[in-house]
Amino acid sequence: MPSSAEPNFDLLGLAKQIIDLNAQVDREVRARQYERAAELRDQREALQRQLGQSGNATVVQNVTRQLKFGLTRSPVLSLLEQEESVIDAGLLHLISSAPLPPRWILNGYSGSCRASIAKQLNVNSLDSVYFHAYLPVLSSTTFAKATKPMEWLAAAIREAARKASQVVWIVKEPAYLAERQILDVVLQVLRVPSTQFVVSLREVDAPFATSFAEIPGVTALRD
């Protein structure tokens, strides 16, 4: 932790580095360079932790406010968080032994899964690393109200890059996503090693199964 005995510690310079890195993350996401964006995001978060240890609450607060600047009033990540209250006991049992962080494929599963995933990750528990995690669902239901789904997806990716909380993408109905011409971008995001996700594959999605199975570090689950 920086102390008064370290006069060369440039707090404002550190804050500027964080803000500049955040802008670079945004540019790389817009350019669809998701792996580079993830690297820059990790650098930014490391500097944010260093800034947080400085003890200067005002600078920390101002940097946090600046990082949030430009986000929409109704963030797309929240719009994509489909409400589900039913927990599937069978699915919960299936994912209870799956490795973390989640990079899972649910083969042959077509039911509701967000509530079960939230239960497994315990997103409402203060002692969970997934506390207040975002669980956006990419499906026909959540994209139904989007006249420009690609713009929604791009906005959601930018928001995810800015978030301090975990983001776990829930991908359903790949056939539908392909029809809306956004599946290729989704696959690019999932291939980034630090991306956390759960993919639900129905029988109709079989033509796209290989594309997901080839993602590094993925775990396929089946009842």
Q: How confident is the model at residue 208 (pLDDT cuts 50, 70, 90)?
A: very high
pLDDT computed for residue 219 by the predictor: 96
**pLDDT tens-digit readout, 170-206:** 999 999 999 999 999 999 999 999 999 999 999 999 9
pLDDT averaged over every residue in the chain: 85
As a CATH number, domain 78-221 is 3.40.50
pLDDT computed for residue 168 by the predictor: 96
pLDDT computed for residue 73 by the predictor: 40
The SS3 of residue 114 is helix
Of 19-33, 79-93, 143-157, the least confident: 19-33
